[in-house]
Structure 1
Amino acid sequence: MASTPMDLDLPDASSPANGTPSTSLNITRTLGSSSLPSTTAVTDVIANYRPTKLFRRDEMKDGRPQPYILSLDYDDPGELMMTSESDETIQIYRVRDGKHDKQLLSKKYGVKLAKFTHHSSSIIYASTKQNDAIRYLTTHDNAFIRYFEGHEAPVTCLEMHPGNDDFISCSKDNTVRLWNAGTRNHTGLLYLGMPYLAAYDPSGQIFAIASPPGGTVLLYDHRNFDRGPFSEFDIVEACGGIDPGYALQGWTKLEFANDGRSILLGTKGGGHFLLDSFNGSLKAYLRKPDGRSSRLAPGEEYVVNGGSNGVNVEGSGDCCLSQDGRFVFGGTKKGVVVWDTLGQPGEDKILEPVHTLEDTREAAVVAANPRFNFLATADKELVFWLPDPHA
């Protein structure tokens, strides 16, 4: 394997990740300076991703340990990357420069599931303290625009509409709420049993709701959601034969492929389910090479004496589809693996990874950039990945 030098953002007193500005982070390889065009076909570079930039936050000054990264998200142009973290901060990074941009604090309300709206300077996120409101703020001045109130239990998923500032929230209060960022009141309400995950199809005309304890994925027409789901996928029937332990629990990710033909249903078990979005059948079981995720799945309770298989920390999913929708990136205990969804699984429907992208760190949270050949992974540290032009 060709080697790629890792650029390290060392934690020091001047690091912006510690709340104070820094003059330079010594980035030596960026999207802007790389000889590899960011528009190169994904299939030509998928095997050559290397960890290129590491952001490491030191232990807190009051002795608390290094925080966990709970979620990753990109703005629409793919220029900014945002994390929500277990120390109740939001960190924003400039992708092209490979530099930390700013830190936002949410000590009063807590923070998780931070998402960009379609304006790169505006975000929404779920509260973890005081109440279960969703908060909408501008990042340039850290000012709240409005609160979205109504949920009476923790929010488990936030999903932005692909074309406008509508969004969906799922909650442990057994409701799904539809919102528009322009008004504080919800525009739609569904009562469903434990609806922990949501996803829009690429057109924005359809959304899916996943209920792990119910073993179902429900599809709705966004304009006529009040008529009920037009399709219901039985995950136990489709996938229970291949991974029965995670056909009714531990679902971590719900995502449509960009051609609308497949749905990725991530789990914290031994693999992920790739479903046909038209009939709900199992296309392939994406088997992980090294077992289960350490993060809690949305809606999952931490169990002290076994049951959680890890730390009491949530995550936004350790798998995602690539920019072209063909490949799936999956986090492991040491780096990332890649499955080719066009590969032919055997009669048992099992699809093995076609590439291993090695690193020494766990990739507990994974996100692919929507515009560039760029990948981010995280646990306590944030890693930027680029294809190696010399591989």
Structure 2
Amino acid sequence: MTTIRHGEHVQPRSKMIKLSDSNVKSLVMAKSIKENTMRINSVNFSNDGMHMITSSDDDSIFLFDMQSGQKKKNVNSKKYGVSLIRFSHNISNAVHCSTKVDDTIRYLSLHDNKYLRYFPGHSKKVVCLCMSPVDDVFLSSSLDKTIRLWDLRSQNCQGLMSVGAKPVAAFDPEGLIFAAGVTNKEIKLYDLRSFDKGPFATFKVVDDYPHCTWSSLVFSPCGKTIMINTNGECIKLIDAFNGNLKYNLVGHENDAHEELEASFTPDGQFVFVGSSSGKIYGYSVETGEKVAEYNTDHEPHLRITTWNPKYFMMAAACTKLVRV
């Protein structure tokens, strides 16, 4: 895993410096971290940008301090495995999916490595886990063709939607609505306060890359754009208000058909994605054009690129973690 940065911290959003084509091209690798023996399967920053957590196929969980760049804690989930780990709003706790035993979601205290609560219900692999940006609610979606709504304070599912196909889901930045992507063709928008009434909007998405399977949805920080990540060589940017296709972001290699996890920069002006070549590519959200390309010392199949929500810093992960 690497972390990459410009050299100067971005200020909190209210005072954030404007990113540009020129300064995103100046990103350099700041630190390479080689703690894992197998693939890192998820990376997540805390809301304040001061901490980062990772999970790996070797059943390990690492917590990092972003000011020092040092490992702060290592815990393991040898019995249940771990993937899709996410901070709760308290950085001492995290929620994650299981890779062993069953498909229960687990709420973990990082302080003493004890489970606080279990969330049973899914009968097949969970493919999406998304915390609300404003409270203790979170979403999960699964190969069992359901989306479930949960509250960290109760093990009981708060809402269940059967969608008839593998779904992907994401909260908007305000935590008021969530989007569900189904059948690789539609995005449905739900009001969290009345999701049981069904979607208030349904968008048909142009299927011009039929061999690409949707792997995740991400709202831009401003909420105006929805990014559709895929297992192909195309990332789609969709207008969040009318569902129109804004751009197909192409030019990054993905011949292994990895489920790439691209990320918006904190100001929403750029998208960064890894590739099967180990390179990182940057695209302009305004034009859809590729504006940056970086060689890294990653192994091929660089699947995850994640921007810190508060600082000019990006993490990229394969078996190792790199801070940029």
Q: What TM-score, normalized by structure 2, do the two folds share? A: 0.91
Of 260-269 and 367-376, deviating more is 260-269
Which fold has the larger relative contact order, with Cα–Cα distance below 8 Å and residues 6 or more apart in sequence? 2
Which SS does the other structure have where 1:186 is aligned? strand
Aligned residues, how many?
315
Q: Is the 8 A contact 2:233 2:251 kept in 1?
A: yes
Report deviation, 1:35: 6.3
Rounded Cα–Cα distance in structure 2 between residues aligned with 1:262 and 1:292: 26
Mapped to 1, the partners of 2:118 and 2:108 lie a distance apart of 9
Q: Deviations over 1:265-300 (max 9, x none)?
A: 0112122100011121110010123344553x4xxx
2:307 partner letter: A
Unaligned stretches of 5+ residues in structure 2: 12-16
State the SS of the aligned residue for 1:225.
Answer: helix
Given candidates 256, 275, 293, the residue that maps to 1:356 is 293
- Listed as ranges, the gaps of 5+ residues in structure 1 are 1-7, 10-28, 59-65, 298-316, 344-350, 386-391
Residue 127 of structure 2: which of 156, 165, 190 is its match?
Answer: 156
Bigger Rg, which one: 1
Return the match for 2:304 from 340, 365, 371.
365
2:14 aligned partner: none
2:35 is aligned with 1:57:
yes
Note if contact 2:147-2:163 (Cα within 8 Å) is conserved in structure 1: yes
| Structure 1 segment 165-314 matched on structure 2, within 5 A | 165-211=136-182, 213=183, 215-235=185-205, 238=206, 240-241=207-208, 243-246=209-212, 249=213, 251-295=214-258, 297=259
Residues 282 and 293 (structure 1), Cα distance of their counterparts in 2 relative to 1, 3 Å cut? farther
CA deviations on 1:45-72 (whole Å, 9 max, x unpaired) are 31211111001137xxxxxxx3000011
In the alignment, what sits opposite 2:52?
81
Question: Percent of pairs identical after alignment?
Answer: 33
What is the CA RMSD across the aligned residues, in angstroms?
2.1
Q: Using the alignment, how far apart are the partners of 2:65 and 2:23 within structure 1?
A: 22
- What is the 5 A alignment of 1:38-187? 38-39=10-11, 40-43=17-20, 45-57=23-35, 66-187=37-158
> CA separation in 2, counterparts of 1:181 and 1:380?
30
8 Å contact from structure 2 (residues 304, 316) kept in 1: yes
Query: Residue 285 of structure 1 aligns to which amino acid in structure 2?
Result: N
Contact between 2:236 and 2:245, CA under 8 Å: does it hold in 1? Answer: yes
Change (3 A) 1:82 1:276: same
Native 8 Å contact 1:176 1:195 kept in 2: no
Whole-Å separation in 1 of the counterparts to 2:250 and 2:4: 32
Residues 154-184 of structure 1: CA distance to partner in whole angstroms, max 9, x if unpaired? 1111000010010001111121110110111
Q: Give how far 1:245 is off.
A: 1.9
CA distance in 2, matches of 1:42, 1:165: 31
Partners in 2 of 1:130 and 1:36 — Cα distance? 44
Partners of 2:269 and 2:319 in 1: how far apart? 29
Deviations 1:322-379 (A, max 9, x none): 1111100011223311111112xxxxxxx33111122132431111001111000011
Name the SS for the 2:170 alignment partner: strand
**After superposition, what is the alpha-carbon deviation per residue over 1:189-239, rounded to whole angstroms, capped at 9, x for unaligned?**
11112243111111111101112x35221110111100001111222xx2x
Q: Distance in 1 between matches of 2:240 and 2:73?
A: 39
Runs of 4+ in 1 over 6 A off after TM superposition: none
Q: Distance in 2 between matches of 1:87 and 1:244?
A: 33
Mapped contact 1:137–1:146 kept (Cα < 8 A)? yes
Partners of 1:89 and 1:203 lie apart in 2 by 32
Q: 1:221 to 1:128 in 2, by over 3 A?
A: same
Task: Check the 8 A contact 1:199/1:208 in 2, yes or no.
Answer: yes
* Aligned residues of 1:171 and 1:194 also touching (Cα < 8 A): no
Secondary structure of the 1:140 match is: coil
The question of whether the paired residues in 1 share the 8 Å contact of 2:170 and 2:217 is answered with: yes
**Partners of 2:253 and 2:229 in 1: how far apart?**
15
State the TM-score, normalized to the length of structure 1.
0.76
Distance 1:30 1:79 in 2: 15
